[in-house]
Amino acid sequence: MTTPMNIRAALVTGGSGGIGRAVAERLAKDGIAVGVHYAGNKASAFDAVAAIAAAGGRAIAVGGDVAEPGDMTAAFEAVEAEFGGIDVVVNTAGIMLLSPIAALNLDDLDRMYRTNIRGTFVVSQLAAQRVRSGGAIVNFSTSITRTQFPTYGAYAASKGAVEAMTMVLARELRGKEITVNTVAPGPTATPLFLQGKSDADVERLARAAPLERLGTPEDIAEAVAFLAGPGRWINGQVLFANGGMA
């Protein structure tokens, strides 16, 4: 396949659904070719690729475990082979297992940290080595690191680690013209977020923000598109995309 040499390309981990898919589709609207990454849901990834193509964009699906360097090296290489390089890496892949700290199963802790911390580290490490000058790396945290809701302790701790590595990596890439930031969504209307919550719980969380609604995946994707595109003077920061929650 012939690829224009000036095309920008992105890899979006967890791009097969939820916020990740919204990010992939939003970047494609800006003319960025996208590698839509999936871990287990191959069909959803190919559906996202088809939707991007139907809207006039370019995309491929790439699979793998974000915590496995071999898998993710192959994913990076697939995007580079298809589009000529990588300019944007967005780490939306993550899992959330909730429990009071006193009762948390440590196997769940290890599982969550493997994806959220090790996975982000593996992908960020490869991104630091391979993203072209002028590019952007966008990691994902959560507004729970500020709101401190009960049962979210281990999850918030994993995302606090993501924020810390983001700050350090931004400074380690001095002189390479690559920005590194974190987006920290508030309550966002995805199937994962809504699962297991009563209507009253959803309404309470929706009213927590001054805008009095849940965020949408598209709201979060706009923040990512800004950091991946015109937001070149924002670097080493955590952007709380949460409608004004404390």
pLDDT of residue 5: 56
Q: Identify whether 3 is part of a domain.
A: no
pLDDT of residue 245: 87
Position 43, amino acid: A
pLDDT of residue 192: 74
Domain that holds residue 208: 9-241
Q: Identify whether 213 is part of a domain.
A: yes
Structure tokens at 153: 């302790």
Q: Identify whether 4 is part of a domain.
A: no
**Which tens digits make up the pLDDT trace of 19-76?**
999 999 999 999 999 999 999 899 999 999 999 999 999 999 999 999 999 999 999 9
* Contact between residue 35 and residue 9 where contact means Cβ atoms under 8 Å apart: yes
Q: Identify whether 86 is part of a domain.
A: yes
Residue 46 φ/ψ region, left for φ over 0, alpha for ψ in the -120 to 50 degree band, beta for the rest: alpha
Length of the chain: 246
Q: Identify whether 64 is part of a domain.
A: yes
pLDDT under 70: residue ranges of the chain: 1-5, 246
Q: Identify whether 146 is part of a domain.
A: yes
**What is the count of structural domains for the chain?**
1
CATH number at residue 39: 3.40.50.720
Sign, CA dihedral 131-17-118-144, equals positive
Q: Rounded to two decimals, what is the model's pTM?
A: 0.95
Q: Identify whether 246 is part of a domain.
A: no
The residue written with tokens 């440590």 in the block is: 106
155 catalytic residue (yes or no): yes
* Contact between residue 23 and residue 92 where contact means Cβ atoms under 8 Å apart: yes
Query: Residues 154, 99, 183, 92: what is their CA dihedral angle, to the nearest 10 degrees?
Result: 100
pLDDT of residue 4: 56
Q: Residue 184's beta-bridge partner residues?
A: 240
- Among 38, 113, 152, 155, the active-site one is 155
Residue 188 φ/ψ region, left for φ over 0, alpha for ψ in the -120 to 50 degree band, beta for the rest: beta
Q: Identify whether 40 is part of a domain.
A: yes
